């Protein structure tokens, strides 16, 4: 939390209010209106708001999610780079799980590769180093925003402030990355299928994630280190979606992966 305090020392009054409003929406599930929030218009300000929002949750950071990891999603949010959101520990869940619609607001489903740090990670680590210093798992990330009618119209700075529209991350068994994959390039050739109530919705590929999910992990490690907030042993990273998200509706969701990654099972109750 010391790093978060450093990030929030220079919060303006408007930024402090924004963080409080986001936290209130997080707690009550009463959404904010996008038209009311347009004062945060720099990356530094947005990440300050996110850091304060994270403080207000009063829960350890279990890891991070990386967003905007394809040109298509970057174009949708008028960005030329990824962004990240801190995720509290209790929102990383091991498959199979049931999520209740009344615990969420406007959730989506994304299919991702999750990494867990076996030791502290550094910006100086090569992709080969990251291959050996992590565990990997199949994952379904559930983005969820504190703003009404947010996708795909929310500004990138409000996405950043809202913890990268973090909801939940559901993951399968974690295994040493270098035991499942022989080399770095193999992680760029993972394919997935997403099903809802037995009906196949989409295919996806890991190459959509900055060419290789390890590139996404490296971007995050470097970004956090630059901000004085290194990624530490035990933290998890949902590294970016293989496909454009689907609206998370009630029913049974299943994401299957090749290359030995397995499957993620998620049941969603009706409102």
Q: How many CA atoms lie within 13 A of 226 on its CB side?
A: 8
Percent share of the chain, pLDDT over 90: 89
Domains and CATH numbers, the chain: 62-269 (3.90.850.10)
What is residue 3's predicted lDDT score, i.e. its pLDDT? 57
Average pLDDT, the chain: 95
C-alpha triplet 187, 243, 111: angle, nearest 5°: 65
Least confident of 39-43, 145-149, 233-237: 39-43
Percent share of the chain, pLDDT over 70: 97
Given a cut of 50, whether residue 15 has pLDDT beyond it is yes
List the structure tokens of 249: 């509706």
What is residue 1's predicted lDDT score, i.e. its pLDDT? 45
The predicted-structure confidence for 87-131, as pLDDT tens digits, reads as follows 999 999 999 999 999 999 999 999 999 999 999 999 999 999 999
Q: Which own/partner pairs from 20-29 qualify as long-range (CB within 8 Å, at least 24 positions apart)?
A: 20/56, 22/49, 22/53, 22/146, 22/161, 22/162, 23/53, 23/56, 23/57, 25/105, 25/146, 25/147, 26/53, 26/57, 26/146, 29/102, 29/103, 29/104, 29/105
Sequence-ordered list of residues with C-beta below 8 angstroms from that of 223, at least 6 positions apart, any chain: 84
List the structure tokens of 59: 């829960």
How crowded is residue 233: how many other Cβ atoms within 10 Å of its Cβ?
11
The predicted-structure confidence for 133-143, as pLDDT tens digits, reads as follows 999 999 999 99
CA-closest candidate to residue 179, choices 95, 118, 126: 118
The predicted-structure confidence for 180-220, as pLDDT tens digits, reads as follows 999 999 999 999 999 999 999 999 999 999 999 999 999 99
The predicted-structure confidence for 19-36, as pLDDT tens digits, reads as follows 999 999 999 999 999 999
Cis omega before residue 152 (within 30°)?
A: yes
List the structure tokens of 25: 């929406």
């Amino acid at each position: 939390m010391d790093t978060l305090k450093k990030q929030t020392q220079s919060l303006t009054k408007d930024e402090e209010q924004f963080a409080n409003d986001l936290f209130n929406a997080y707690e009550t599930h009463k959404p904010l209106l996008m038209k009311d929030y347009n004062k945060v218009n720099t990356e530094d300000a947005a990440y300050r708001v996110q850091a304060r929002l994270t403080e207000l949750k009063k829960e350890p950071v279990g890891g991070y999610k990386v967003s905007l990891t394809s040109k298509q999603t970057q174009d949708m949010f008028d960005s030329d780079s990824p962004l990240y959101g801190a995720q509290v520990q209790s929102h990383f869940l091991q498959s199979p799980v049931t999520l209740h619609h009344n615990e969420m607001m406007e959730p989506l489903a994304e299919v991702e590769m999750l990494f867990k740090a076996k030791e502290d990670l550094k910006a100086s680590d090569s992709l080969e180093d990251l291959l050996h210093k992590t565990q990997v798992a199949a994952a379904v990330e559930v983005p969820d925003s504190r703003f009404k009618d947010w996708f795909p119209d929310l500004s990138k700075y409000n996405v950043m402030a809202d913890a990268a529209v973090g909801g939940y991350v559901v993951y399968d068994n974690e295994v040493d990355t270098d035991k499942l994959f022989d080399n770095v390039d193999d992680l760029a050739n993972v394919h997935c299928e997403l099903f809802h109530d037995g009906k196949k919705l989409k295919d996806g590929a890991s190459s959509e994630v900055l060419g290789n999910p390890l590139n996404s992990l490296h971007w995050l490690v470097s970004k956090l280190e630059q901000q004085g907030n290194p990624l530490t042993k035990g933290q998890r990273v949902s590294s970016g979606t293989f496909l454009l998200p689907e609206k998370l509706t009630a029913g049974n969701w299943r994401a299957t992966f090749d290359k030995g990654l397995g499957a993620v099972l998620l049941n969603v109750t009706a409102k």
